[in-house]
Structure 1
Amino acid sequence: MENRPLCRHHLVLLLGMALLAVPPAMGEMPGQELPAPAQATAPERLRPCPDREPPPDGPCPKAGEPASLETAMARDDGPMLATLLETGLAPESTGPSGRPLLLEAAARGRAELVQVLLSRGARPDARSPEGDTALMLAAGAGHTRVVELLLGKGAATNVVETRSGETALFRAVRRGNLPVVEALLAHEADPRIRNRPAGETVLHLAAAMGHAALIGPLVRAHASPDTLSAGGASPLHLAAGNGHVAAVAALLEAGGHPMIRDAAGMTPFHTAAAAGQEGVVALFLERGLSPVFPDAAQRTPLHVAAQHGQVAVLQRLLAFPITPDPKDREGKTPLMLAAAEGQSEAVRCLLQAGADAQARDTDGETALHLAANRGCAEAIGHLLQAKGVTPDAPDRRNLTPLMLAADHGHREAVKRLVEGGARVDLVEPAEEETALELAVMNGHVEVVRELLWRGAAADHVTRRRQTPLHLAAFRGLCPVIEALLEAKVPVDPRDGAGRTPLMQACERGQADAVRLLLLRGADPKARDNLDWTALFWAACYGHKDIADLLVRHGCPAGHKDREGRRAVDLARERGFPEVVGSLEAGNSGQ
């Protein structure tokens, strides 16, 4: 037997035994009863510590140490708790955390204390302020023995926690504790209860967390593998999306429908493909599922794998004898979706597998149009190298990829397209606009600079005879105006109505643009086809500050148009008294 030093409580016991062996004191008669020793009350002193190692929560209690709830709880000391209960502590009292003692003991896995409390009348279904029961806490912490004790005393298994709507079974499943799950199911825990707000059952939870061993028992207890959550997902969708191969296999064995659709119309196969879960995809293929089975939008697993850039899944799917160009409801192929999302490696993979880069969707767009529209420069680079691709092919609206890239401000895409042979001065027929005009109207100054540097005509006119400078001035786009003027465009070009960019800026009240144009030499006295100056346009629309600015720059306030009206007359007719007052003061000073 191992020799160990005696702890203090052992010494106390030995001393007591020695005292019992001492003969009666001198003067005592044989048979005479000794006076009864003073007895300590139970709450004041502890029982002797058993002959064992000190418990992990602390050293053995000292002889004479006062009994306390904290000590009993820390050491799972049932007799100490029983002593406390006998001397006035109520079984329904609260512990250090403010929860009933039973819940405190259950949460800590103190089986001995739980047993004492239950035997002294503690209610097994008492709740914490948060709505937890002892069974929930024990199940969530994996305390199997405590769960068994509570169930033996009739603890209700289907009580739901107030906020989440979850039962003790949810807690056990989340932990993946099979013995606790089986114990709860044996006591009629209902696996069909849904939590809040997700509307999921415990089978959803087990599937999502990959607890494959729990799936069989739950299904045998009537959990349905095809139940959809509030978000429209089945347990199989969750297991597939999270890559839990064993859980997917267990659900399939339990009767889960592999082609069930979620709220988005996708099957678990689609979900796995989108998430790049190659192991689950391999399992589905081994089970004979088709890699081109369509979802509600007629998209196949090949589509969603391409869209999300899951190259490993793409390669596995393309190893089957299938077409790389199935079309969805909008006529889009996997290559188009990959291009639109900028999944350049997926684009390269599909092109190597023979995908058709010239295929068009219902809008007449190719993969190159979609990549340009989203600014996916690297994908554009791959597509421009594909057989038969022409960089200037128009879509149904007669927009080229370059026009789309310019319209959305994608400078790198513009650069790739021009370097790949796209022409910068092609004209869209409806408004006779080039890529430059589209970039200007949307204020994409970096694209404007790129196109100008690549040779775009800065003085091109649209169907309305407007130049890029007209378009920029009308919108008050000062950085674009600067870029165009740096390209040496005329500052006073005329549109179809004879108006200059300055006049258009005045009409729209673009004060900063007016100042910039005047600074760059725009003529404030220029007249349009109505014989209006810029001042007329400012007065007509009530822009007093601009009117004052024009007068200060020499625009004559007394000039009359063809009908003999002055700018002040227009302001009066349109009801702008502040402009009238300012211009009348200007007239009197002239």
Structure 2
Amino acid sequence: MGDRLLEHEELLRELAAVQDWPLPKRMKWAKRRRKEQFRHWKRWIETDEAQSKCARPRKNSNPPDLKFASEIVLLEASARNDVDEVIAFLDEGVDPNLTNIDGLTALHQCCIDNCVDLATVLLEHGANVNARDIEMWTPLHAASRCGHLVLVRLLLEHGADLVAVNSDGQMPYEIAETSAVLLELQEAMEKNGFDDGAIEDARNSGPLQMLSDVKELCDRGEPLSLADAHGVTLLHIAASNGYTQVVECLLTNEAAIDPRDRDGWTPLHGAACWGQYEVIELLAEYGADLDAVTGTDETPTMLASDQNITLLLHDLKTRQLERSARNKSRPRSRTFSSSSRGHSVKRDSVNKKSHFSKRDIAEEGKQFKADADSTTGDVDDVVIGSLDDENGGNASESEQSVFSTDSAEKKALRRSKSPPILIKTSDPIQEETEGENNGSMAQRDNVVQAALAPSTLEGQDSKAELVSKETPPLRRRHRSENTSGKCCTIL
């Protein structure tokens, strides 16, 4: 045993060593230290320093003007079942329906603790027999759940609501603890004419009334996301209670999807906590944040009431990610301005323009070439007609199918009446197949010369005169290096 108290650092070093000791040894060490501490205190209290300190008047920790709120003293007296003190408070004018932070009244507390005499006093002084806490429980719910038959009968005598529905959608008879309480409630319901239809109507009365109120707010154009002092909105209430129609009405009228109350809870947190499956799916469909955290860093999955809610939230999260991936992979459609400048004409470069011009010129040259070939085809008809006359008109079927069957005389006469066609070669274009054209023209000249020979065209002097020197011969186009790229003209 030491004569002095250990310093703080010494105690810390000793505690570090004590932590590794077995439990019996630690208990023995703690008792020894406690004895040393008491012995040193006893020595110190006898000193002059201790006498001077103890002689000082102590400050009053509870000043006489300190008072507690009425609801606190009333509920505290009710919890102690102090009937006389409760009567004194009620005689002073204290409201018997005062509630604590959870919405519990003194009558709720009496029904939980089975205080029949105190409950009778409260009811006689005007306590609300159908008061509701934050979970919508009435005193009859509390008495039924706790199995207090005498209190159940007392509440029914004062007009308790038999079909009141709490936040879980349960009526008092559905949560009755004992068979005696259940039988008492069922007999009272039959006596008051509550059949299955009336019970169902009563069960739906809450959501139907809220739906009617929300529609009225929409018709008046009032905001739907206003919050009370605790930050709770209409969507919080509807989602927590499972009012699917009310939730859908609020969302379709553009109510805020993720409002937060004072504790950071969103409507999805409330729906997950109270197990509202349909509401959870509806909120997720409208884009609620499935990863939102409360003020204590809790997600809806962490607040899920059971395993099925957890699986549902994971499934909805997977669907949301897949939908987001599909939207990102989908190409965006190009939008145009509504003004005329948004629909401007396409502009090309100079190189493209020159390319288009050359292509047009080439096509135009081919067209003129085809027209010239058709003109020279009339001369061929003359030659073929002469050959037919020489052979006695026995032209082959293939030749008749290709060449015209008109007589050479008619064709020559027709050409003599029409002006000759001359292709001016001052601005010719470059021929792409010059070798093939030269060969075909040379073959055609040979045929013409053979047809015009005197031995071949016997008795055809009149026809030969038509193709005389006065008729200028057809001139074919030729290449001109200086004027390549220009269009040919017809005189």
TM-score (norm 2): 0.29
Give the alignment's TM-score, normalised by structure 1: 0.25
- Structure showing greater radius of gyration is 2
- Structure with more contact order per residue of length (Cα contacts < 8 Å, sep ≥ 6): 2
